[in-house]
């Protein structure tokens, strides 16, 4: 693990146990992210870039299993292997220290709750103390001013409930209180405070008219707006690391430009690191500082953006860059197909499509090596020199 990395993935292996066989989706992925940097992960459909993102939060869906590897996250100076932690620990971590933005904003939002409720949920989960503290402060102030004995009694009861909430939010007493009609009203103060906070967050996301959006349901929002709300949810607790899984793929170019601009500015403001998963090399060139290129479940090249676009080494990276249509050049493509990962090619998984394939490529899987400073390649062409 690098010294300045906040997250590093070592020899990650993920398999999916399907009826047709075992899909070797991820086979020995090594990655690291430095503090405050944007790492782009690029590759074709089915190369495992999204699964890598999901594995970091241990969210790989059901037939999939993380078989091997380490995911080390440095938190408060300590290094924690996320794969060894229990679900409770991860729940506290997700959305607070590491959060995620998914591709389809409509699918990521719950259609039956308003934006206020959904962002509020994140706040209640991770920033409860701060918000309940504010409510208690307000209550004490009100109590001092109030002379009416009935109201004073009500305020005192509310204060008691909030203090209980501060201590233990899962207490049965509170649960019961929230079921009784008149006593239930104590929650209003909490939601009022949350609403203020949500509007503040939405304003940071440059959403026009946040007072209206707060009360809107997801179907009332346009695609770009919905994605901003999802990003707002992810950034509500100032996470150290944001994993963005193709957040702009379903958006139009003009809206995409707005969202990218927003992400860039938020990164500068909060200093979070970002893992940006995408298949669009144009977006990578605009946004990222380092790039990792994935092919069929493993990383084939990692380098600085300038270095990668100027001096791509791996044949797949070269092919990918040449496949970008350019008006003055004839169309070029990588021949062949992405292999079926149930039965992947032996050795280097790219060898059936590689124009420089040698005998050794068919037998031995190349290890990822540092060729230049910060330029890693997994290819036999660049051997022990």
Partner 1 sequence: MDVLIETIKLKKYYPILGGVFRRRVADVRAVDGVRISIRKRECFGLVGESGCGKTTFGKTVIRLLKPTDGIILFNAPDDIREEIEKLLHSSNQHVKKKLEKLRKEYDIATFKGRKLKALRRTMQIVYQDPSTSLNPRMLVKDIVGEPLKVQGLARRGEVREKVLETLQRVGLTDKHLYRYPHEFSGGQRQRIAIARAIITNPSFVVLDEPTSSVDVSVRAELLKEFQRLQRELELTYLFISHDLSVVECIADRVAVMYLGKIVEVAETRDLFRNPMHPYTKALFSAIPIPDPTIKKERMLLRGEVPSPVNPPSGCRFHPRCPYAMDICRKEEPQLINIHEKGEPHLVACHRFPEEIEN
Which of these segments, 69-77, 145-153, 194-202, 303-311, binds partner 1 (CB under 8 A)? 303-311
How many C-beta atoms lie closer than 10 Å to residue 73's C-beta?
A: 22
Compare residues 13 and 106 and give the one whose CB is closer to partner 1: 106
**Given 114, 309, 352, 360, the residue binding partner 1 (CB under 8 A):** 309
**Given 70, 117, 332, 369, the residue binding partner 1 (CB under 8 A):** 332
Least gap, CB of 108 to partner 1 (angstroms): 19
Least gap, CB of 276 to partner 1 (angstroms): 12
CA dist list (Å): 147 to 179, 235, 271, 287: 29, 42, 48, 58
| Binding to partner 1, residues 258-297 (CB under 8 A) | 258, 260-261, 279-286
Which of these segments, 178-186, 191-199, 331-339, 375-383, binds partner 1 (CB under 8 A)? 331-339
Compare residues 65 and 318 and give the one whose CB is closer to partner 1: 318
Contact status: 216 vs partner 1 (CB under 8 A): no
Least gap, CB of 279 to partner 1 (angstroms): 7
Contact status: 19 vs partner 1 (CB under 8 A): no
Compare residues 238 and 249 and give the one whose CB is closer to partner 1: 249
Where do contacts with partner 1 occur on this chain (CB under 8 A)? Answer: 44-45, 208, 222, 224-225, 252-258, 260-261, 279-286, 305-306, 309-310, 319-321, 323-327, 330-334, 337-338
């Amino acid at each position: 693990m690098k010294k300045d990395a906040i997250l590093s993935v070592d020899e990650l292996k993920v398999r999916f146990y399907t009826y047709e066989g075992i899909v070797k989706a991820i086979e020995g992925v090594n990655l690291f992210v430095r503090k405050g940097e944007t790492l782009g992960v690029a590759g074709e459909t089915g190369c495992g870039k999204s699964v890598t993102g999901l594995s970091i939060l241990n969210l790989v869906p059901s037939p999939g299993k993380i078989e091997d590897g380490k995911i080390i996250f440095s938190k408060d100076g300590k290094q924690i292997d996320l794969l060894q932690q229990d679900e409770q620990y991860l729940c506290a971590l997700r959305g607070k220290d590491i959060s995620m933005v998914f591709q389809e904003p409509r699918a990521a939002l719950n259609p039956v709750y308003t934006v206020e409720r959904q962002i509020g949920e994140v706040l209640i989960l991770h920033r409860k103390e701060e918000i309940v503290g504010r409510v208690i402060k307000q209550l004490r102030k009100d109590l001092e001013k109030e002379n009416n004995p009935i109201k004073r009694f009500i305020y005192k009861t509310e204060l008691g409930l909030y203090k209980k909430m501060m201590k233990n939010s899962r207490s049965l007493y509170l649960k019961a209180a929230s079921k009784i009609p008149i006593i239930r009203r104590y929650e209003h103060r909490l939601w009022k405070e949350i609403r203020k906070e949500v509007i503040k967050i939405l304003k940071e996301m440059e959403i026009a008219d946040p007072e209206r959006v707060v009360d809107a349901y997801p179907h009332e929002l346009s695609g770009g707006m919905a994605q901003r709300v999802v990003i707002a949810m992810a950034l509500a607790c100032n996470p150290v690391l944001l994993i963005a899984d193709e957040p702009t793929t379903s958006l139009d170019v003009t809206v995409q430009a707005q969202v990218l601009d927003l992400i860039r500015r938020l990164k500068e403001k909060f200093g979070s690191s970002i893992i940006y998963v995408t298949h669009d090399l144009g977006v990578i060139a605009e946004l990222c500082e380092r790039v990792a290129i994935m092919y069929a479940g493993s990383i084939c090249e990692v380098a600085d953006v300038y270095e990668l676009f100027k001096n791509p080494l791996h044949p797949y990276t070269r092919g990918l860059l040449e496949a970008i249509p350019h008006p003055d050049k004839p169309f070029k493509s990588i021949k062949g197909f992405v292999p079926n990962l149930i039965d992947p090619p032996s050795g280097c998984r790219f060898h059936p499509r590689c124009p420089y394939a040698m005998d050794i490529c068919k037998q031995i899987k190349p290890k990822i090596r540092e060729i230049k400073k910060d330029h890693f390649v997994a290819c036999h062409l660049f051997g022990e020199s």
